[in-house]
Each structure stands twice: as structure tokens, then as C-alpha cells.
Amino acid sequence: MTNLVLGIDVGGSSVKAGVVDLEAGRVTGELISAPTPRPSPPAALMPVIAGLAARLPGPSGTVGIAFPSVVKSGIVRTAANIDPSWVGTDGAALAARALGRPALLLNDADAAGVAEMRWGAGRGTSGIAIMVTLGTGIGTALFCDGRLFPNTELGHIELRGMDAERWASAQVRTAEKLDFPTWIARVNEYLGRLHALFWPDLFILGGAVSERFEEFAPLLRSPAVLRPAHFAGQAGVVGAALAAAESST
Ligand code: BGC
């Protein structure tokens, strides 16, 4: 396994990139970013990804890319918060062409979960763990005894007659100008529904909640253990790089 791997995380508002040191289990040097183009079809996003990679020379080998969609064998299968023209495209092949080296594409929440389970809040956890990322959408990653069940998409379960991420994501909080107690009550309801369906031992909360966990913790309720993500905004980059390194060994 190479020690330095490039990780990229495509988000709704920005694309982040960093060189991940797999011995230390963290980004080494600067985490850089660029705005996600709007709209963001492949032809607009690929130059942004290539531009960030060019600013981080050094690591060679497979690049890991966390993407906000279901990804199966490199093919993008859904597009809840990304341009719909991505659906059906071979995102891994497009990225490999733009970067001039192999690329591994995986779901962004899965990438974040992989990083947390290896080096962060889920380290050493057995049983059922669910990583929940609250951002533009809601992303989830489900683990049983540390093994990922990929592409779970539990941000789209029905809650209050609507798609859960339209009710409880961080973007909804901003758009509807909800105060924190009101928003956290929605998050609690969402976690309660997940708990009733999957009975996790641990929830790892990433995105907006992890950044201000001290403030939110007294309001959060769940029968499962709740922990903030350790990597905060870096989890997708770190996990994508780890997945890429492991895919090429
Ligand atoms: C997408 C997921 C993604 C999540 C977080 C959801 O809308 O369907 O694939 O993981 O947003 O970006």
C-alpha cells in the first residue's frame, strides 16, 4: 500500500482535495478546495477535479474520489444533489481520463464512514454502526463489525410524508431558518426512525452537527451511542484515499 494517496471529496458547495498519509491516518499538508460548479455536469466538474489534483503533486497511484451518489463499479447511479446528467456515466473512467491515472469513485458518506471506522470515532467498534452526514443532503454509511454495506441511501427514507433529507438536512435548517433546537428535534426524529429500523449500537454524526457537537450534544437523543465524527470536513477525503489504496493492493 502506498503511503501518500490523493483523496478528493465532491460536495454540494465545494470540492475538497488533500494528500492523505496512510500511516498517520490523516491529511498531510493543506486541505484545498474549489467551489462546486453550478450546474455540475461531468464537463464542468472534471476540470475542477483535475485543477485541484494539479495543485497537489506528489502522490502517484489510484486517486480516491468521494461522490454524492450511489456508485456501483465506478458508474454513477443516482443524482439527488448533483447534476442529473451524471446518472449512468462511468465516473471513475471520466476521472481517470481527466487525471491521467486510475481513480476509484465511491459514495461520499461511505468514504467518510470508512475513515471514521478505521481512524476516527468508530475505531475498534463491533456490532452495527451508522455514519450519518448532515449537509446539503443526508448521507449514510452502514457497518456491521467494521465491514461496510455500501450505498445505503438512508437519507431518503420517508419521514413526515417526505424524503427525510428534505426534512432534516443541514441545508434545510438554513433554508427554513430553523433555530437549533427545532432542527435537532428533526434530527432526533430521523435518528429515531433509523434506530427503529436498524438498531445500531453507534451513530457517528458528521457534517454540521459534528462541527458544533458540544452545543448540540445536550439536545440530541438516541438509544444508541452518539459520537461526533472525528475528521469533520476531512472525512470524505481521508476515506476516499484509504479506499483507493486498498482497491489497488
Ligand atoms: C445522496 C447520497 C449522498 C448524500 C450526501 C444524498 O442526497 O443521495 O448518495 O451520500 O446525499 O451527500
Q: Is 140 in the pocket of ligand 1 (CB under 6 A)?
A: no
pLDDT of 211 above 90: no
pLDDT of 216 above 70: yes
pLDDT of 162 above 80: yes
Q: Is 9 in the pocket of ligand 1 (CB under 6 A)?
A: no
104-108, 213-217, 224-228, 233-237 — which is least confidently predicted? 213-217
Q: Which of 87, 114, 138, 166 to mutate to test the pocket of ligand 1 (most atoms within 8 A of CB)?
A: 138
| Cα 186 from Cα 164, distance rounded (Å) | 9
- 239 plus 189 within the same structural domain: no
- Report the pLDDT value the prediction gives residue 2, as an integer from 0 to 100: 58
Range(s) of the domain holding residue 60? 4-110+234-247
- 8 plus 106 within the same structural domain: yes
Ramachandran category for residue 184: left, alpha or beta (phi over 0 → left; psi -120 to 50 → alpha) = alpha
| Percent of the chain residues topping a pLDDT of 90 | 90
**Is the full-model pTM beyond 0.95?**
yes
Give the confidence band of 58 by pLDDT, cuts at 50, 70, 90.
confident
Ligand 1 centre to CA of 109 (Å) is: 7
pLDDT of 241 above 80: yes
- Report the pLDDT value the prediction gives residue 101, as an integer from 0 to 100: 95
Instruction: Tell me which amino acid residue 145 is.
Output: D
Neighbours of 7 (CB within 10 A): 31
- 187 plus 212 within the same structural domain: yes
Q: Is 69 in the pocket of ligand 1 (CB under 6 A)?
A: yes
Q: Is 68 in the pocket of ligand 1 (CB under 6 A)?
A: yes
- 212 plus 141 within the same structural domain: yes
Contact 208, 199 (CB under 8 A): no
pLDDT of 60 above 90: no
pLDDT of 248 above 80: no
Q: Is 110 in the pocket of ligand 1 (CB under 6 A)?
A: no
| Percent of the chain residues topping a pLDDT of 70 | 99
Q: Render pLDDT for 31-56 as a digit per residue (tens, 0 to 9).
A: 999 999 999 999 999 999 999 999 99
Q: Render pLDDT for 71-85 as a digit per residue (tens, 0 to 9).
A: 999 999 999 989 999
Q: What is the CATH number of the domain that holds 145?
A: 3.30.420.40
Residue bearing the CA closest to ligand 1, atom 9: 69
Q: Which of 165, 172, 190 to mutate to test the pocket of ligand 1 (most atoms within 8 A of CB)?
A: 165
- 34 plus 105 within the same structural domain: yes
Q: From the alpha carbon of 110, which atom of ligand 1 is closest?
A: 10
| Cα 174 from Cα 12, distance rounded (Å) | 14
Q: Is 74 in the pocket of ligand 1 (CB under 6 A)?
A: no
DSSP 219: G
Q: Render pLDDT for 2-23 as a digit per residue (tens, 0 to 9).
A: 599 999 999 988 999 999 999 9
**How many domains in the chain?**
2
Q: Is 236 in the pocket of ligand 1 (CB under 6 A)?
A: no
pLDDT of 68 above 80: yes
Q: Render pLDDT for 185-199 as a digit per residue (tens, 0 to 9).
A: 999 999 999 999 999
Give the confidence band of 249 by pLDDT, cuts at 50, 70, 90.
low
In a domain, 119, yes or no: no
In a domain, 118, yes or no: no
Q: Is 122 in the pocket of ligand 1 (CB under 6 A)?
A: no
Residue bearing the CA closest to ligand 1, atom 10: 139
| Cα 104 from Cα 62, distance rounded (Å) | 7
Q: Render pLDDT for 137-156 as a digit per residue (tens, 0 to 9).
A: 999 999 999 999 999 999 99
In a domain, 92, yes or no: yes
